[in-house]
A and B are shown apart, each in its own frame.
Chain A
Amino acid sequence: MVEEIKHYLSKNGLKEIEELLDSLNVERLVKIKECSSLVSHPNVIESESFLFRQEIAQIEKKIREIEQVLENYELIKMPSKENRDIVFIGATIVVEVDGELDEFSLVDKLETNPSLGRISSECLVGRMLLGKKIGDIVKVQSAVETIYKIIKVEYREI
Chain B
Amino acid sequence: MKSLINFFVKVGNLRKVLRRGWVLIGAKEPASVLDHSFRLAIMAWVLGQQSGKEIDINRLIKMALVHDLCELYAGDVTPYDLAGLPEDETKWPELFDKWPRSSQKQKQENNTWKCEQEDKSLQSILKDLPVGLKQEVYGFWKEYEKGITPEARFLKQLNRLETLLQALEYGRENKKTPYKSWWIGTKELVDDPFLIKLMEGFEKEFPLGENKQE
Contacts and interface: CB of A to CB of B under 8 A. Distances in A.
A binds B: yes
Interface of A: 1-2, 16-17, 20, 58, 61-62, 65, 92, 97-98, 100-105, 109-110, 112-117, 119-120, 122-126, 140, 142-144, 146
B205 to A, nearest CB: 11
Contacts of A61: 56
Nearest to A122: B191
A106 B100 CA distance: 18
B153 A109 contact: yes
A97 B99 contact: yes
B208 A114 contact: no
Interface string B134-169: 000000000000111110010010000000000000
Given A16-B146, A98-B98, A112-B147, A146 B187 contact: yes
B186 to A, nearest CB: 8
Contact of B104 (A97, A103, A124): A103
Report the interface size class on chain B.
Answer: 35 or more
B89 interface: no
Contact of B108 (A58, A116, A122, A142): A116
B149 A62 contact: yes
Interface in B185-206: 185-191, 196, 199-200, 202-203, 206
Contacts of A122: 191
Contacts of B203: 142-143
Contact of B101 (A97, A123, A142): A97
Contact of B148 (A17, A97, A101): A17
Given A119-B188, A123-B191, A20 B104 contact: no
Q: Which 5 A-B pairs have the closest CB atoms?
A: A117-B104, A102-B101, A122-B191, A120-B191, A123-B191
A17 B150 CA distance: 13
Interface centre among A1, A61, A140, A143, by most B CB within 10 Å?
A143
B68 to A, nearest CB: 14
Contacts of B180: 144, 146
16 contacts: A65-B150, A97-B98, A98-B99, A101-B101, A112-B147, A112-B189, A113-B147, A114-B188, A116-B104, A117-B107, A120-B189, A123-B190, A124-B187, A142-B187, A144-B208, A146-B187
B173 interface: no
A65 B184 CA distance: 31
A92 B199 CA distance: 26
A2 B56 CA distance: 12
A61 B149 CA distance: 11
Contact of B187 (A2, A102, A117, A140): A140
Contact of A20 (B56, B148, B187): B148
B213 interface: no
Interface in B14-56: 54, 56
B102 interface: yes
Nearest to B142: A23
B103 A103 contact: yes
A92 B189 CA distance: 16
A124 B110 CA distance: 25
Nearest to A97: B101
Contacts of B104: 92, 103-105, 116-117
Contacts of A110: 148, 153
B102 A109 contact: no
Interface in B70-112: 98-99, 101-104, 107-108, 110-111
A115 B110 contact: yes
